[in-house]
Amino acid sequence: MIVCHCMHITDHDIHSAIEWMRAADPMTIITPRKVYRALNKEADCGGCMSLFLDTMRQNDKLQVPMLRKPAVSGQPAALIEESGTCKATQRSSNI
């Protein structure tokens, strides 16, 4: 499906860029700007941004993976977030 008519970006392009970025750096925060740059494109009119963001949010690899606290004095490593997602990503997805 075409998401951005101005730059000819499809949902497949967006998902491929997200998967490529996550594989290259598991801890990176993926933004629309980074997706555009990965595709060698630039945002033009902005009319597609809501669909662009919805398409990004559909990708399971968008969120930063769970971090673990280092083990202290022989105790096993503990999860930082029990919910399994980054709080910053949850807040920014409500914009």
Ordered by where they begin, the domains of the chain are 1-62 (1.10.10), 66-95 (no CATH)
CB burial class (10 A; 0-12, 13-18, 19+) of residue 85? Answer: middle
Q: What is the per-residue pLDDT for 73?
A: 61
State the pTM of this model.
0.69
CA atoms of 56 and 66, how far apart (whole Å): 19
Q: What is the per-residue pLDDT for 69?
A: 60
**Residue-level pLDDT, tens digit, the chain, 95 residues:** 999 999 999 999 999 999 999 999 999 999 999 999 999 999 889 899 999 999 999 999 998 877 666 656 666 555 555 455 555 545 454 54
